[in-house]
Amino acid sequence: MALSLPVTDRCAIHPDRAAEITCSRCGNFACYECVGASPGRVCAACRLRMTGTTGRAEHVRPLAAALVVHGGLLVLWGLFLAFVGVISIVAPNRSGTSDPATSAAVFAALTFGALVPGALQVAAGVRMLGWHGRTLGLVAIVGGLFALPSCCCVPMPVVLLVWGLFVLADTEVRVRFAERAPGRG
């Protein structure tokens, strides 16, 4: 049975929020967002333990795999841009219409804009496969937007951003990352 608590008690998942009830299963303090409409008024961590997974938690591994694949493609694209940049400096346009220094600066920026987010996404995806690195995953999906000017696959960083924010912001997903629980499957 849920108990009303004094304002001084804080939610176990959201320490910035006042706890409204205690979990009927474990006794942890929980805010209304963590309890939600669950039967028996159990907290997100207990619901996760009882069911094994949630709808959004099932998306973590596919999201991690998508980050690894997209990040790998960005790294390859960045290496290609670096190669083209070197060629543009070594063999400048014979007509004299392009400045080698400008070409070098443009290709360096495009290369950096693809390599760094790509490496971040690969690292984050690998860590997320083991239910580690949620913050790195958030940084990597936001960082993917820096690849937009250099990437031919413009929609993908936006898709990963929206998908990743929905999945990684979920309360039960945060609980699983916090507990470093093994994923299903």
* Other C-beta atoms lying within 10 Å of the C-beta of residue 75: 18
Specify the pLDDT at position 92. 64
26 compared with 4, residue with greater pLDDT: 26
pLDDT digits (tens, 9 = 90+) for 40-68: 677 777 776 666 555 677 889 999 999 99
Sorted by sequence, the CB contacts under 8 Å of residue 151 that are 6+ apart come out as 74, 77, 114, 157
Provide the percentage of residues in the chain whose pLDDT is more than 90: 34
36 compared with 38, residue with greater pLDDT: 36
CA distances (Å), origin 125, targets 14, 21, 68, 94? 25, 36, 5, 44
Tokens linked to 85? 């940049």
Specify the pLDDT at position 167. 92
Is the pTM for the entire model greater than 0.85?
A: no
pLDDT digits (tens, 9 = 90+) for 123-175: 999 999 988 999 999 999 999 998 888 776 778 899 999 999 999 988 778 87
